[in-house]
Structure formats: C-alpha cells, structure tokens
C-alpha cells in the first residue's frame, strides 16, 4: 500500500550546488543533476536554489513544505553554495542529499554540513553509503540511481555492434580491467575513449540521446559497480536502451531484481568468453534476456520509481512515539516500524577496499603493523584518496615512531574537508589524531591551543586527548566519558577504553623519542616541561592574530596557523579569491549568466532548425 497521498504536491525547495555548465566538466554529470530535479518533480512542486542565499528569506518567499540540501559532492567544476540562517525556521522538515560515492573523501564534509544545518535525515544516491559510513547508517535512506525513460528506451536501431565498451576502466574498476581487454581482443567492439571527468576532452563523450542510441545499436554492453560493488547508472541505462547487460553479481543488483540468465548475464571474468560465445550462437536467448532486462528497468527503475523522499515526508507526519521510518531494501518503499525492533539492514560489505581495511585492522589488533600497512596500501590502490586507509596509515606511522609523518597525513585529511570541500570543521577522528601526533612530537603547547579549535567536535578520542593533556600538565584528571563522538566519523575505528588508549599513546610517544611524555602518561609523574616553540610556528600564529586584529579574519583559511596545514599557501589563495570576488564578482556573474543565456538560445535555435527540417 502506497504511503503517498493524493492531492496537490508538497512544495520542496532544493538547495542544489551551482552545477552551471562549464568547459571543465563532463556533460553527463550536468545531466545527472538535471535528472535529480526531474525525478523530484514527480513527487514535489520543486523550486531549485543554486546560488548563495539566506534560508529564512527563501522560505518566506517560497513557503516550502520541506527543504532538501545537496551536499558531499566532489566538485568536478561545480560550486558549493553558501546558505545562511539555516536554523531560522525550525518548523520546516529538512533532509540532506549525499550526492557522492560511498567512499568519497567529502563524506566528512557532508556530515559536518548536516550537523551545522540541523539535518538528521539523509538520502544517498548510492546503495552502499550506509555500509561505508556505519556510524551514520541509522540516518541514511537510499535514493538509488534511475533512468529517464524518454532518453533510455528502444529506438529500434539495427544491432550492428556486437559489444560496446564504455566508461572508465582504471584501478577503481577491477572487474572492467579484467573483462574489457578480453572482449576487445575477441569480438568486434565499439570502444569509447576514457576521459577524465574534468578534462576538455570529456566534452567528446557520448551523452544523453546519442549515448542511448549507441547502446541501442549494441547487442551486449558490460559494466560493473566499481570495487565497491555499487549499483551505478549504467546498470539501468544499458538494459533500458534494449542492450544485454553483462556485469558482476552483487547483492545490490540482485535486490534491484537482476537475475543471471533471465534479464542479465553475471560473469566473474573467467567465464565471459564462454557465456558470450553461447549467447551469440543462440540469438533468440540473447533477445529474450535483453527484452526482460529492458522490461525490468522500465517497470522498476525509472525516475517515476524513486519516490523515497516523498514517502519519508508523508510517513514522518504519521509517526507516533516509539516508531521510526525504515527501509529494508534500497529499492523497496519506506515504512513505519516499531523503533525497538526496527530492522537495520545496510547491504553486506563485499567491497574490495572494505575487505582490505578489515584485514588491516585485524593485523593491527595483533600488533603486526607491517602487515596492516600492506593491507591499507592495497586499499589505496583502488582509491588513492580513501580517507579510512589514509588515517589508518597515520596510526601505523605513530606506532612506528614516525609522528611527523602521522601529523602530515592527518593534517592533509583535515585540509581536504575544511579547505578543499569548505566544511566548518573536519572529521572528529581525523582531528583527534592531529592532536595525538602533536603530543607524540612533544608539541604540547600546540596541542593545548588546538584541542578546542573546532568547538563543535566533542566526545570520543577528543575527550581522551583532553585528559591526556591534563595529566601531562599536572592537572587533576577525571576518567573521560567513553561515549562516542557527538558527530559520526567516517572511520569507525575499533573502540579502545581510556586505559588502553593511554597506554597506546605512551607507546607511540616513546617510539617517537618522547620518553618523558611516555613516562608521565604511564606513571602520572611530574608535569612535563614546556617545549621550546619553534620560531616558524610563532610566526604563523603572529600572522593569524595580526589579520584578526586589523579586521581581515575573513581571509583566513579554516585550519590552524601551522606549517603542517600549508597555512601560508592557503592564506595566499584565500586572499586572492576574496580580492577577486570583491572586485570582479558581480561582472563575472553577469558575464556567466549572459553566456548561459546565449548557450540556451543557440540550443533552442538548433532544436527548432531540426524540427523545421
């Protein structure tokens, strides 16, 4: 039974990033953003706000029933908008949209945005996001990928292409790395070049109808869901355009209704040639599977089949005490369940990077740092920016006495979230290990000064760090609360009690040559003497204070004034952006709007010309 009521559509205001077309991003990414709006419009009366704004003013003007905030996107030329006064109206339900990969290094920025905006319910375009971020899994619902049936359908084109190879096939896609060369070397194939999403060459890619027609002309098209076993758009686009889907078996695809030999072909790479030889010699079987895949997608996976946000909106108004909204399957409707017995069933972790992270954690728990490091390095071969592997390598550095290397790694992670992404504060676990690294370097004054640098970050190991600094300074120490971080971390590190954590910190300090600190941590000895501050650090701090005194604090980057955070280069870039924005911001915005209008007019004239012809 549907939870969606009849009658007028609720008003939804969608605070979407500025995805204005530009020469530096692939066109298909822009189409995805437009598809999101088109899909939401099936269930809501949608108003898109994609420029810097005041939340209260927007709500006064639009009078929305619900607000949706896009967050966590990994740029590709798009701009994160600035939204002020988000707490101005607490009566409007707020939900977040994580528009990114499950493993993305912008997840910490997403969680920071959600906390600072007071958003507690999240939707993710990827089915594996809750499993990748288990500390926040209870807040996530899936809003899975889908197709626009006006673009992806059967055009009736003669199938002259046996195999079409499209999409990336670098280390993130190990299944494709195995299968694509086999197919290209054994069957006549249409091979689409692989372009970086941000390159100008990406403008040459098949997109939209041209891409759908190329699929429609092909008999078989392979794809996979990356090393993360995700359900990607190609899984739906290929069968929707009446081509046979050749892919890797994953739990998500089976939940979506795909069955080997019935509406798709599952292969592990070793059997791909045998399976295709059989299908090409039995064209009636290939046609049957292709038709069934087409029917499945058009019956269950178009933009008309993604009402999850509308379901949540309707159900949230029916909730009674002791109840919650659940989603047992990414492709099934949401429903209300008893909170005490509500099922929490994120998809099982079969992702290759997660398996390597788990192996590394097991090795670390045995004290085998070398083996652990090897597993974390292997995880980075799939995604070079994977934050979980990078932070765990910092832990390995600490255990091996390489405190400066650990500080550099953790500081870089903090900069990714606060500078590159623009969040108000970093992941709490990453910030905790910045401070731990400073303690192991003997930089106690820096750690004391920075422990409260991001006031919203509390709990977890940050409480342990405060207690350790109290002990090192000879202050009374109360055993810290062993509750988790007040904000979910993307890292889900194994929990340590305070005593065990303190012993590990002492071990790391000793390994780094800080014997006095290690002894004080273990024995509650006399306070450790203050270290001599480096002249360079004092200079950074002086610059930061001087800029605040003269009223130029707005140009300061959102990281501490320390060399590990590349403070001076980031200050230079921030100052340049501020100057350019103040002097040329309005003219450049007018020019951009003019270029957009010209592009739209040219596109409209082209459509009219094709119609008249």
pLDDT at 66 over 80: yes
27 and 137 in one domain?
Answer: yes
Average pLDDT over residues 390-401: 98
Q: Which helix (H) or strand (E) holds 336?
A: strand 335-338
Q: What pLDDT is stored for residue 74 in this prediction?
A: 87
Dihedral angle at the C-alpha atoms of 413, 419, 424, 430, nearest 10 degrees?
Answer: 10
| Final residue belonging to a domain, choices 514, 531, 548 | 531
Instruction: Report the distance separating Cα 108 and Cα 112, nearest Å.
Output: 6
Last residue of a domain, one of 241, 275, 302: 302
Query: For residue 365, is it within any domain?
Result: no
Q: What is the pLDDT of residue 573?
A: 74
Q: Write down the residue that tokens 């740029």 correspond to.
A: 75
Please count the CA atoms within 13 angstroms of the CA of 587 that sit on its side-chain side. 4
Whole-model pTM: value is 0.89
Does some domain include residue 45?
yes
List the CATH number of the domain containing 120. 3.40.50
CA gap 215, 238 in Å, rounded: 6
CA-closest candidate to residue 99, choices 118, 80, 120: 80
Highest-scoring range by mean pLDDT, 70-79, 319-328, 476-485, 566-575: 319-328
- The answer to the question of residue 612 being in a domain is no
**H or E segment and range at residue 141:** strand 140-142
How would DSSP label each residue in 147-171? Answer: B-TTTSS-------EEEEE-S--ST
* Domain assignment of residue 611, yes or no: no
Separation between Cα atoms, residue 293 and residue 253, nearest integer Å:
12
Secondary structure element (H or E) that encloses residue 15, with its range: strand 11-15
Task: Write out pLDDT tens, residues 412-437.
Answer: 999 999 999 999 999 999 999 999 99
Task: Return the closest-CA partner of residue 309 out of 99, 129, 39, 113.
Answer: 39
What average pLDDT score do residues 556-563 get? 82
The pLDDT assigned to 90 comes to 85
Secondary structure letter of residue 3 according to DSSP: -
Domain boundary among 531, 566, 583: 531
Residue 220 and residue 280 in one domain: yes
Cα–Cα distance, 76 to 340 (Å, whole number): 42
For residue 316, being part of any structural domain is answered with: yes
DSSP letter at 350 equals -
The confidence score (pLDDT) of residue 1 equals 46
> Are residues 390 and 514 both part of a single domain?
yes
Rounded to a whole number of angstroms, the distance between the first and last alpha carbons of the chain is 48
SS3 396: helix
SS3 142: strand
Residues 522 and 400 both lie in one domain: yes
- CB-based contacts of 255, cutoff 8 Å, min separation 6: 127, 329, 330, 331, 347
Per-residue pLDDT tens for 125-143?
A: 999 999 999 999 999 999 9
CATH label of the domain that carries residue 200: 3.40.50.2000
Q: Which tokens belong to 135? A: 């500390």
- Of 281, 182, 166, nearest to 217 by C-alpha is 166
Residue 280 CA to residue 219 CA, distance in Å, equals 9
According to the model, what pLDDT value does residue 612 have? 42
**Sheet containing strand 189-191, strands side by side:** 189-191, 161-165, 218-222, 244-247, 265-266
User: Do 157 and 218 contact (CB within 8 A), yes or no?
Assistant: no
- In a domain, residue 572? The reply is no
* Rounded CA separation 46/234 (Å): 26
Phi then psi for residue 303, to 5 deg, are -65, -15
Q: What are phi and psi of 348, to 5 degrees?
A: -60, 140
Closest to 474 (Cα-Cα) out of 527, 525, 517: 527
What CA–CA distance (Å, rounded) separates 210 from 152? 10
517 shares its domain with 399: yes
Q: Is residue 464 part of a domain?
A: yes
Domain check: are 400 and 336 in the same one?
A: no
Task: Verify that 238 and 335 share a domain, yes or no.
Answer: no
141-194 pLDDT, tens digit per residue, is 999 999 999 999 999 999 999 999 998 889 999 999 999 999 999 999 999 887
For residues 242 and 212, state if they share a domain. yes
Give the angle 181-187-188 at the CA atoms, nearest 5°. 110
Same domain for 184 and 241: yes
CB 229, CB 251: distance < 8 Å: yes
The answer as to whether 156 is a domain residue is no
195 and 244 share one domain: yes
Pairing mode of beta strands 53-54, 83-84: parallel
SS3 31: helix
Domain count, the chain: 3
Do 526 and 412 lie in one domain? The reply is yes
Give me the mean pLDDT over the 59-81 stretch. Answer: 92
Helix axes 369-382, 352-365, angle to 10 degrees: 170
For residue 14, the SS3 value is strand
Q: How far is CA 543 from the centre of its chain?
A: 34
Residue 272's CB: how many other CB atoms inside 10 A? Answer: 21
395 and 438 inside one domain:
yes
Query: What is the average pLDDT across 520-545?
Result: 67
Q: Choose the weakest-confidence range: 245-249, 279-283, 382-386, 564-568.
A: 564-568
Percentage of residues in the chain with pLDDT exceeding 90? 70
Provide the residue range defining the domain that includes 390: 385-531
Q: Looking at residue 533, what is its pLDDT?
A: 52
Both tokens assigned to 342? 């509500």
What is the per-residue pLDDT across 346-356, written as a single tens digit (0 to 9) for each?
A: 666 789 999 99
Contact 430, 442 (CB under 8 A): no
Of residues 254 and 203, the one with the higher pLDDT is 254
């Amino acid at each position: 039974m549907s939870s969606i009521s009849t009658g007028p559509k609720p008003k939804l205001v969608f605070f979407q990033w500025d995805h204005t077309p530009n020469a530096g991003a692939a066109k298909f990414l822009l189409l995805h953003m437009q598809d999101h709006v088109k899909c939401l419009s099936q269930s809501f009366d949608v108003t898109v706000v994609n420029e810097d704004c005041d939340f209260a003013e927007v709500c006064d003007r639009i009078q929305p029933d619900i607000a949706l905030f896009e967050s966590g996107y990994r740029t590709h030329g798009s701009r994160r908008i600035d939204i002020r006064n988000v707490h101005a109206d607490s009566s409007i339900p707020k939900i977040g949209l994580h528009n990114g990969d499950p493993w993305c290094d912008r997840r910490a920025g997403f969680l920071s945005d959600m906390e600072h905006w007071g958003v507690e319910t999240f939707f993710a375009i990827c089915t594996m996001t809750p499993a990748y971020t288990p500390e926040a899994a209870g807040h996530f619902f899936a809003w899975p990928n889908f197709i626009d049936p006006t673009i992806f359908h059967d055009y009736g084109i003669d199938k002259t292409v046996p195999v079409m190879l499209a999409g990336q096939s670098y280390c993130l896609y190990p299944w494709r790395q195995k299968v694509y060369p086999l197919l290209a070397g054994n069957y006549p194939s249409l091979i689409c070049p692989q372009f970086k999403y941000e390159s100008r060459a990406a403008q040459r890619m098949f997109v939209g109808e041209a891409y759908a027609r190329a699929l429609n002309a092909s008999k078989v098209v392979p794809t996979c869901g990356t090393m993360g076993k995700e359900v990607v758009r190609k899984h739906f686009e290929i069968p929707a355009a009446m081509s046979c889907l050749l892919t890797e078996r994953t739990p998500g695809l089976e939940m979506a209704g795909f069955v080997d030999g019935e509406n798709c072909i599952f292969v592990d790479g070793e059997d791909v040639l045998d399976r295709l030889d059989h299908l090409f010699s039995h064209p009636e079987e290939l046609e049957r599977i292709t038709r069934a895949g087409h029917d499945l997608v058009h019956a269950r996976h178009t933009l008309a089949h993604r009402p999850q946000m509308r379901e949540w909106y309707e159900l949230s108004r029916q909730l009674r005490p002791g109840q919650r909204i659940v989603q047992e399957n990414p492709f099934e409707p949401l429903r209300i369940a008893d909170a005490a017995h509500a099922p929490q069933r994120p998809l099982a972790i079969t992702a290759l990077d997660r398996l390597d992270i788990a192996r590394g954690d097991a090795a670390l728990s045995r004290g085998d740092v070398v083996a652990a490091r090897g597993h974390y390095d292997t995880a980075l071969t799939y995604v070079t920016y994977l934050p979980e592997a990078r932070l765990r390598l910092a832990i390995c550095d600490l255990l091996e006495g390489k405190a400066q290397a650990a500080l550099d790694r953790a500081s870089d992670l903090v900069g990714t979230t606060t500078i590159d992404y623009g969040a108000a504060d970093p992941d709490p676990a990453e910030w905790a290990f910045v401070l731990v690294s400073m303690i192991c370097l003997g930089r106690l004054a820096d750690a004391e000064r920075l422990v409260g640098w991001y006031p919203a970050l509390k709990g977890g190991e940050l409480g342990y760090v405060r207690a350790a600094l109290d002990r090192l300074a000879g202050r009374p120490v109360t055993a810290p609360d062993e509750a988790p971080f007040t904000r979910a971390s993307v890292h889900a590190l194994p929990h340590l009690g305070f005593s065990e954590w303190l012993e590990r910190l002492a071990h790391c300090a000793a390994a780094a040559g800080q014997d006095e600190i290690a002894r004080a941590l273990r024995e509650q000895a006399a306070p450790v003497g203050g270290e001599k501050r480096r002249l360079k650090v004092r200079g950074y701090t002086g610059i930061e204070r001087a800029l605040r005194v003269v009223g130029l604090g707005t140009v300061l980057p959102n990281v501490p004034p320390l060399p590990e955070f590349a403070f001076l280069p980031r200050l230079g870039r921030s100052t340049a952006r501020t100057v350019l924005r103040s002097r040329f911001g309005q003219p450049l915005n007018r020019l951009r709007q003019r270029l957009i209008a010209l592009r739209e007019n040219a596109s409209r004239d082209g459509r009219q010309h094709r119609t008249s012809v």
